[in-house]
Amino acid sequence: MGYQQIDCFNIHLTILRILGVWPHDNPSIYYVYFSRIFVLIFTILYVVIYTMNFYFLPQQLEIFADELIFYFTNVGALSKALAFIFLRDKVKKMLFMLESEIFQSDDPEEIKLIKEGKEKSNFYWKITAGLSVSANTVNVCLPFLVHIIFSVELEFPVCRYSFIPEKYEAMFAYPA
């Protein structure tokens, strides 16, 4: 085979392997269990808990709208993770087709385009990863810093977790 077009997906597949969503060709039994437990706890259970949150939300439209947007973002992430898990064979088949002779080229111009595409993909991935990490860090740390500096009431940074009774919220916001 010629040029490896699917190399541009290496970063994505590595992260999916770390998260337990995309195993190697022959995963160990520990990896299989880790993958299933991780996906169960951090995707499905998280969405279930967040769904419970809707029942306890205050009846204010602006609060409900914010929580609903975040909820559908989580459901979208869950559907992507489950698609990779349940449709793994089809995705592998598509990636294998990209490496078949039909998509190989001997033309230097096409090889140059593929190489530039890989470089741009890696560059854009680094930008997206940097912005995502920065935004998440600010989203989690800023409420705590504002609380320390200006004595503003501390709130949970991502979700309201309205199903937690108010008498226990302080215990979760200020662990002993």
The model's pTM is 0.68
Q: Which two three-digit tokens encode residue 71?
A: 């909820």
pLDDT for the residue 96: 87
Q: Which two three-digit tokens encode residue 85?
A: 């898990």
> Tell me: the pLDDT tens digits for 38-70?
888 887 888 888 888 888 888 888 888 888 888
pLDDT for the residue 133: 94
pLDDT for the residue 1: 44
On the question of pLDDT at 176 being above 60, the answer is no
pLDDT for the residue 172: 66
Q: How confident is the model at residue 26 (pLDDT cuts 50, 70, 90)?
A: confident
Higher pLDDT among residues 164 and 1, named by residue? 164
On the question of pLDDT at 82 being above 80, the answer is yes
Ordered by start, the domain boundaries in the chain are 5-173
On the question of pLDDT at 24 being above 70, the answer is yes
